[in-house]
Structure 1
Amino acid sequence: MDRIRNAAVAVTLDPNTAHPMLQVSPDLVTVRCVKGRTITSVDRGVSEPVLSVMGKPPLRDEEVITSGRCYWVVEVGSNSEWDLGVASNDAEKRARTTLRPEGGVWSIGCHQKVIRVNDANSKRISIHPATQEKIQMIGVYLDYGEGKVLFCDDSTGSHLHSFSDWTFKGGLLPFFNVSASGNALTICPVVHVA
């Protein structure tokens, strides 16, 4: 876990990529849906409108991640509906996207209080129900060169899921998708354990 935390970067949200129904905080670390607006529901995993916003990596030579390792932590709190991961730069430019690697999004999500992998199988991540209730900080680790995206419970270091052995083409960006409930997602500083 220390090796992963050593790759910590200060990710912020990019309001220019936010769905019109989303509100990004002035400090660029919290996003929520503006309540009172209606969203058309479409089957998840199929092309759908998503309430998403992309993250910005810290200042680099490029605006997107094209190499190296990055780690960031997102506080999901008591949210029961969210998706987190990375997305290809061209997925960000589409109004509708598929939350699957084939659509350029490597993510996990919580829907109806069940954490699942967003891929063709949509398998449930095996977590004891009592533990799942306590998961409030999700760590996302990207190793671009190794073709890996790993998710963990940042508080305990418990592994949740990994996408491995992908050949990424082009730039990647942190990806955040929220529900219409108005509950927020917040990017948090990474705590290094001595």
Structure 2
Amino acid sequence: MDVDMENEASGALRRDLTCPVCQNIFSDPVLLPCTHSFCRECLQRSWLFNKKCPFCRELFTEDQAIANRDLKNACDTFVKQTNWTSPPKPSEFSCTLHLKPLELYCELDERLVCVDCATLHSTHRLLSIKDGVPLCKSELNGKVEYFEKKIDLYGKMRQTLFKTVEYIKKQAGAAENQIKEEFERLHNFLQAEENMRLKTLATEVKEKISNVQEKIFETEEHLKSLKDHLDTLKNELDNEDLPLLMNFQNVKIKTYWAQRVSKVEKDCLLVMSKHVGSLSFNIWKSMKDCVHYYPVVLDPNTASPWLALSPDMISMKESLEPLPVPDNPDRFDPCVFVLGAEGYTSGKHKWEVSVGDNPKWILGVCKESVVRKKMFRVSTTGGVWAIRLSKGMYTALTQERTQLPVNSCPEKICVRLNMDKGEVSFYDGLAEKHLVSFTFKLEKGEKMYPLFGPGLQNTPMTIVPGKVKIHTS
């Protein structure tokens, strides 16, 4: 075989062993279901952009590409026998499929293609690089604006979260001081109670011991006198017969003893039951005069920034300046409301509120999902069942406002909530006169909360303490 024929055969073999994508001898070749082979790396790069065979455009999945061992062995043998050296890799700005410069931009696929790729994008809009750059920059500039706004929002949220942490620390400090003050008050009461009981015990001990010591003194005097009588008798017994008989009557008179032996009195011991019997219960029972029970306490996390709450969470009034509180989701703003801390899903509940001479207020109940972050019409249709005093008129806040026939101005309003019947009633707390009742229906599991709107007044609205009763059985 001459040299030309040998070179022609070698060239034909090289073409059969050349990857259609990189135009180089196959490296780790894989076979597709369509029987076309490609370098594994070339196929993986192509598959990122198009899930079709780079040669015949038939669809395939990545796991369908299997190693072509026979072709790999043939390529390894060809490289060894011909001392084949791979040509330099194409530029990163060249088409990996056709090895031609990337000169066009596909608007639909959003990638660069060469002129030979144009047939694969015949239904797409192809732009020159000069026209494609402004299009991409415009979109990226939009992204820049979007991320700048997002960064601004995240920055503001970061500051809000930092302020929230500081507010939580402030809350913790206030709660700690309140707890310490309350325990100090209870400690003082218990200390005074302890001192009083110890003093009572010491007084009785002194009295009982004094009584017994008087008996001891009396007994010792009698014992001394008896010993003297005994000595006298013994001396007389030692006398001669005649003197003994002569002094018998006198001795008998002198040694006459009519005193009785002292007895232990039945009440001489301490009454232990009075001092230590049911001691802890009796102390607890006496504490009811120094502790107060409130059927409702306020939730400061729901309070409008314009409301100042007392440290014990049972009184509220206007704040002359908006308080620096977090804008948490539960807080009413701009409406000047605050909720009770506990929501109800069942049972009967009752609380009284001292409204004093406030000229404007709202009292009632609301469902948990009531609007918090915008002004709204307070009515039963909005999930609020309440009454209001405004401009001297008492009104039931139904959809169509209903004026209440109130003759006097109640200084205390009683609210009675019956969750089982779905009813809330309002009374003049002092006259015990019924004002109005509402019925309601809630979704299963939804809570009903006490609602307080003291208005922007300097006079505080205060929750009245409930009566404490101790029952034993």
TM-score scaled by length of structure 2: 0.33
Structure 2 gaps, min length 5: 1-292, 323-332, 469-473
Contact 2:335 2:372 in 1 (8 A): no
The equivalent position to 2:441 in structure 1, one of 153, 167, 174, is: 167
Aligned counterpart, 1:145: 420
Moved more, 182-191 or 19-28: 182-191
The equivalent position to 1:154 in structure 2, one of 429, 432, 438, is: 429
CA distance in structure 2 between the aligned counterparts of 1:154 and 1:178, rounded to whole angstroms: 17
CA distance in structure 2 between the aligned counterparts of 1:145 and 1:96, rounded to whole angstroms: 31
The equivalent position to 1:51 in structure 2, one of 309, 329, 336, is: 336
Higher relative contact order (CA 8 A, sep 6+): 1
Q: Per-residue deviation at 1:93?
A: 4.0
Q: Secondary structure at the match of 2:401?
A: coil
CA distance in structure 1 between the aligned counterparts of 2:376 and 2:347, rounded to whole angstroms: 26
Contact 1:82 1:109 in 2 (8 A): yes
List per-residue Cα deviations over 1:53-103 (Å, max 9, x = no partner).
00123xxxxxx2111110000000000100000011111644433311111
The equivalent position to 1:125 in structure 2, one of 404, 407, 428, is: 404
Q: Secondary structure at the match of 1:138?
A: strand
Structure with more of its chain in strand, by fraction: 1
The equivalent position to 2:387 in structure 1, one of 102, 108, 116, is: 108
* 1:78 to 2:352 alignment: no
List per-residue Cα deviations over 1:30-53 (Å, max 9, x = no partner).
01111267xxxxxxxxxx942100
Aligned counterpart, 1:184: 460
CA distance in structure 2 between the aligned counterparts of 1:154 and 1:141, rounded to whole angstroms: 11
* 1:15 to 2:300 alignment: yes
CA distance in structure 2 between the aligned counterparts of 1:9 and 1:187, rounded to whole angstroms: 7
Aligned counterpart, 1:61: none
Contact 2:304 2:334 in 1 (8 A): no
Structure 1 gaps, min length 5: 1-7, 38-47, 58-63
Q: Per-residue deviation at 1:184?
A: 1.4
Matches within 5 A, 1:55-74: 55-57=340-342, 64-74=343-353
CA distance in structure 1 between the aligned counterparts of 2:467 and 2:394, rounded to whole angstroms: 24
Q: Secondary structure at the match of 1:155?
A: coil
Could you say if the C-alpha distance between residues 94 and 24 of structure 1 is closer, same or farther in structure 2, counting changes exceeding 3 Å?
same
CA distance in structure 1 between the aligned counterparts of 2:371 and 2:416, rounded to whole angstroms: 19
CA distance in structure 1 between the aligned counterparts of 2:321 and 2:449, rounded to whole angstroms: 29
CA distance in structure 1 between the aligned counterparts of 2:448 and 2:373, rounded to whole angstroms: 14
Contact 1:139 1:151 in 2 (8 A): yes
Q: How many residues are matched?
A: 164
CA distance in structure 1 between the aligned counterparts of 2:434 and 2:466, rounded to whole angstroms: 17
Q: Secondary structure at the match of 2:430?
A: coil
Query: In structure 1, what residue type is equivalent to 2:364?
Result: G
Could you say if the C-alpha distance between residues 16 and 95 of structure 1 is closer, same or farther in structure 2, counting changes exceeding 3 Å?
farther
Contact 1:98 1:105 in 2 (8 A): no
Contact 1:9 1:71 in 2 (8 A): no
* 1:34 to 2:300 alignment: no
TM-score scaled by length of structure 1: 0.78
Contact 2:334 2:373 in 1 (8 A): no
CA distance in structure 2 between the aligned counterparts of 1:9 and 1:148, rounded to whole angstroms: 22
Contact 2:294 2:464 in 1 (8 A): no
Structure with more of its chain in helix, by fraction: 2
Q: Which structure has the larger Rg?
A: 2
Q: Per-residue deviation at 1:179?
A: 1.4
Runs of 4+ in 1 over 6 A off after TM superposition: none
